[in-house]
Copies of this chain bind each other. A is one copy, B any other.
Amino acid sequence: MEHTTNILNKRNIKLVIAYQGTRYCGWQRQKDDLTVQGTIEKTLSDFLGSPVRIQGASRTDAGVHAEGQTANFKLENCPIPTENFKEILNVRLPADIAIRSCENAPMTFHASRDAVSKTYLYTFYTNTEKDVFHHNHRWAVEYRLNPILMNEAAKFLIGTHDVLGFTSAKDERENSIRTIFEASVFQADPDEIHFTIRANRFLYLMVRNIAGTLVEIGRGRFHVAQMTEILARRDRTLAGPTAPPQGLCLKVVEYSKNVRSTLDFDACSEDTE
């Protein structure tokens, strides 16, 4: 009878979501603009006949994509089995948002607070031919890039650092210590260079500011050592320009097996990219 109990009592549902961010003003619900969170909340609310709020793991910016955004929402006294929500939502959501999975999570689960790491991919397009078919999914860089130098520089990012030099946050009083578990750059195919980064949390525009810096290194305008300089001096003016949003994709959000809410929610409210 656990199934019945589960359905009629409170549930906390975890969603894994993919979206093409091109048409959206980012993840986060906004009063007047089309957003991914707003679209999913409206679809759920219309279907259930009562307002539903979902909590996302990452507040991706306008034009940024996701293959593995996560979110959670609570449901009470609803007879619909959790697994059915995947199809219910997919047929009702627009073609550029998909629910990848839908499952019950512990009542304490919080998609943002409980994330132990997030992985982003940034894609550079390096062919000089105009990028007709994928211009919304990669940054067409006009310079020849050396992925080996870019990868050397990326390696300096691994570890626990104050990453203030890579943020564009207005409020610099916030804690900007982050742990970067993985950072690498490689030539994925003749036309594409991929930059992958996994960290516990990210500051506002952090991946795109690092991506812009990597381009300066890859084209030879900055030395590889500039990466350590920016980390050491925590000075945004030493970093490269902010890379455009369309090259960025949130690949996956990871949680530990035994999730506990150890962080204060406000403390990670700046965790956007």
Contacts and interface: CB of A to CB of B under 8 A. Distances in A.
Contacts of A18: 130, 132-133
Interface in A242-257: none
A19 B132 contact: yes
Interface residues of A, number: 18
A95 interface: yes
A98 B65 contact: no
11 contacts: A18-B130, A18-B132, A18-B133, A19-B132, A65-B133, A95-B131, A95-B132, A96-B135, A98-B129, A100-B129, A133-B137
- Top 10 A-B residue pairs of the complex, sorted by shortest distance between their CB atoms: A98-B130, A98-B132, A95-B135, A18-B132, A90-B130, A20-B133, A20-B132, A96-B132, A19-B132, A97-B132
Nearest to A137: B133
Contacts of A90: 130
Contacts of A131: 95, 98
Contacts of A65: 133
Nearest to A249: B133
Interface string A121-154: 0000000011111010100000000000000000
Nearest to A136: B95
Contacts of A130: 18, 90, 95, 98-99
A18 B133 CA distance: 9
Given A90-B130, A95-B131, A133-B137, 5 more contacts: A97-B132, A98-B129, A98-B130, A98-B131, A98-B132
Interface in A217-258: none
Contacts of A100: 129
A132 B65 CA distance: 10
Interface string A7-42: 000000000001110000000000000000000000
A99 B128 CA distance: 12
A18 B127 CA distance: 15
A182 to B, nearest CB: 23
Interface string A254-265: 000000000000
A19 B135 CA distance: 11
